[in-house]
A and B are shown apart, each in its own frame.
Chain A
Amino acid sequence: MAEKIATRQAYGDALAEFGVDESIVVFDADLSKSTKTATFEKKYPERFFNMGIAEANMMCAAAGMSTCGKTVFASTFAIFAAGRACEQVRNSICYPNLNVKIGATHAGISVGEDGASHQMLEDIANMRALPNMVVISPADAVETRLAVKASIEHKGPVYLRLGRLNVPVIFDETYKFEIGKGVELKSGSDVTIIATGLLVHEAITAFDILAEKGISARIVNMPTIKPIDEDIIVKAAKETGAIVTAEEHNILGGLGSAVCEVVAEKCPVPVLRIGTKDKFGKSGKPALLMKEYELTDEDIVKKAEEVLKLK
């Protein structure tokens, strides 16, 4: 079994690593031990600001700070970053196109026991609709580190969608990450599985199950939801003729929607979506919730078989 690291942990570690750059400032809203920005705080206390349980103020203060030449990471749970402070992100960060990076941890249903109030399943939809915003949903610790690095190099707002749960490390040091680029992880010709975040690992294990059933699946990791990699989607549509999307997010407005928009306009083929079905989550062990909400490799296999019948 591969090593397991939460993407939030990799985020905190990356901030501490790249924080050697003195223009980097980190804000948190009383969750630094959970978002792991405390790792940065320990190393660079003078450039860490705890803004208290006041996310609206934090987002706008981050915006103001960024106008003074800083690269500001503002961290809290996804529900507060993309939910509570959504309008602050829109008007004070995205409209003036400011250099603020939102490190949103505890995204998705894998938050587990805290339940529906804390399981953010609409953040990709909210954030992707904002002009100037880049939305990145890393699949593992390696990709998270590279996404943090790329976010620092990118001038403008970035939303980093991170998880609470320890997840398998998928990639090694040779892995290349570029904003706006999907990555083909497994080649295949019958169907393409396009996954993001936590569901990338499920897609990889689904590949083996599908192979045993004689189905050749292409697996695409889509870390950047916006700007979406249109080329890799169109190529998949043309070459495999059917697509399944997989994300730990509402099927409305997330990766599945982004893929459907491209497929419908550029190369119409059947697409089926894995995601939460426009309903709230609930408390429970993350693995049991993933099963109940049909977000596992077996669910991906079922959808792949289903979409093949639509070809």
Chain B
Amino acid sequence: MKNIKHIFRKEFKTYFISPIAYIVISVFLIIIGWLFFSTFFLEKQANLTKFFSLLPITFAFIIPAVTMRLFSEEINIGSYELLITLPLSFREIILGKFFAAVAFVAIMLSPTLMYAVSTSLIGDLDWGPVIGGYFGAILLGASFSAVGLLASSLTRNQVVAFIIGMAICFSLTLLIDFVLFFIPNVFIGFFQYLSASHHFQNIAKGVLDLRDIIYFLSLSFIALYATNLVIEEKK
């Protein structure tokens, strides 16, 4: 337990002493801010539904950029060998890195709370869906972080890790739109269940359904477990 905290602290610190953190956060805020506010005043509705509906697709390429270095960089420069030979279990290493990525996502999201505050000033904002939305955003961010971590453990090349992570997150986000045209009706429910954006939209509407929470938790678990298998296999 203690070791998870130490790994977490080290990884979290590393994010903010390198320029990556500031670049990623800026890019995220510019993109999401532009996409959200460019149509905000046309819709004449004081809510953040549009903002939350943009999150899965934005996260799908921002979060792999956050997680790409977690294992790839270590494998590449060789510090991975130092890390593995310290008295740490794989589980502690993976969870420490995972929580650092989730904390980073939370920090990245926090400036967008200003959107909620400023929206509430110009209209009657319903806070329920906003709180639900942020809760869902953290769950979504956590499961994409786990996927990104898995991608990072697969390769020593950060660019490859980014592309693999983005491909998986994009597929999970767009699954429902893509496959709708090709598959018979009976399977739609099944693919809908696999789609991250489908589950996220439920939460973003303010509906806290246990099924959606379980989806995100199990996606995180499966990705982290797969990461464990990958680094076990490296021995």
User: Are A and B associated in one complex?
Assistant: no
